[in-house]
Chains A and B, each alone.
Chain A
Amino acid sequence: MKTVNEMLAADSSHKEWIPLLELATREVFEMMLGCKLAQPEIAVDGSFDITAMVGLAGQMCGVLTVRCAAKSATHMASKILGMAPAEGSQDVLDALGEICNMVAGNFKNKVAGMGDGCMLSVPTVITGNDYSLHSLADSGALEVRLLFESMPIAITLQIHS
């Protein structure tokens, strides 16, 4: 397995991290929510009105976001908590934040050398979709789109090298 620095030097777009990002996401959903994410057969474009984000700082700097519809987030929260929270409730927002945090942590632990050298911020959750996100990312974004119980979710990693 290559180290972070080797990967950063070899490929400024970091496309080889996409499978790690997908695997990190799939593991969180399988282990914590008990469900398998599906690969969309066609390009999926969903109405994402909830965004959870976690910052990464240290050996790698960037922002990881998980975006989905409010209905999806409520369903994720019910799966991970074993109860039925109200749509838009604090439990739903916090649960999505924790899912994003675990995806980010699981991803960094899969990249050799990043486990110790990269810290995560506390999660932030934005509701609504009328916003633009500007970060210092200068290496483009890696994005994975998957289906959670037939509903699209988008996992994006923006990297500031």
Chain B
Amino acid sequence: MNSIRALIIDDSSVMRKIVERSLRQAGIELTQVFEAGNGAEALGVLKQTQVDLILCDINMPVMDGLEFIKQLPGVANAKGVPVVMITTEGSESHVVQALSCGARGYIRKPFTPEQVREQVMPVLGGKA
């Protein structure tokens, strides 16, 4: 199994730790984990580095997760990188909105490592 580089975007630092732990519990090997507190910070991170997977909250200050996905195609380093949303917002309309903006997966909080694996593994396309 290959290791991947992941970018975790959430305005809560403790939630970023929880998401990283869940990825590892899901059996996903992480070479490197980058963090950002909102979409604007994440765009800055992606200008400096390449990642294999992005996990993103929706409700964040400065730039929310949906706006971040809309701006992602303009970042050369992020072309083709799958985005999986992790959020408390669990209604069908939120899921549809996120997927139509370009998200490849959607995880509702609370979640189990198995649910993380189910959403993340298919979008990695054999990288992990």
* Chain A positions near chain B (C-beta within 8 angstroms): 27-28, 31-32, 80-82, 91, 94-95, 97-98, 101-102, 104-106, 109, 115-116, 120, 122
Binary contact readout B30-66 vs A (1 if CB under 8 angstroms, 0 otherwise): 0000000000000000000000000000010000000
Q: Are A105 and B89 in contact (CB under 8 A)?
A: yes
Q: Which B2-48 residues have C-beta < 8 A from chain A?
A: 11-15, 17-18, 21
B100 within 8 A of A: no
Mask of B100-128 contacts with A, CB within 8 angstroms, 1/0: 00000000111110000000000000000
Give every chain A residue within 8 A of B91 (Cβ-Cβ).
Answer: 109, 115-116
Q: How far is the CA of A95 from the CA of B88 in the complex (A)?
A: 15
Question: On chain B, which size bracket covers the interface?
Answer: 20 to 34
A97 to B14, CA, bound (A): 10
Chain A positions within 8 Å of B15 at CB level? 98
- The winner among B11, B108, B110 for most chain A CB atoms within 10 A is B110
Say yes or no: A80 contacts B18, CB within 8 Å.
yes
* Total CB contacts across the A-B interface at under 8 A: 57
Asked whether B112 lies within 8 Å of A31 as measured between CB atoms, the reply is yes
8 A-B pairs with least C-beta separation = A105-B88, A115-B91, A94-B14, A31-B110, A109-B90, A28-B110, A32-B110, A116-B91
Chain A contact residues: over half helix, strand or loop, or mixed?
helix
Chain B contacts for A80, CB-based, 8 A: 18
Tell me whether A81 and B110 are in contact in the complex, defined as CB-CB below 8 angstroms, given that A94-B13, A102-B88, A115-B91 are known contacts. Answer: no
Contacts of A27 in B (CB 8 A): 110
Q: Using known A-B contacts A80-B18, A105-B109, A106-B110, determine if residue A116 contacts B94 with beta carbons closer than 8 Å.
A: yes
Cβ–Cβ contact A82 & B21, under 8 A: yes
A-B contact pairs, 8 of them (CB 8 A): A27-B110, A28-B110, A32-B110, A91-B17, A97-B12, A98-B14, A102-B109, A115-B89
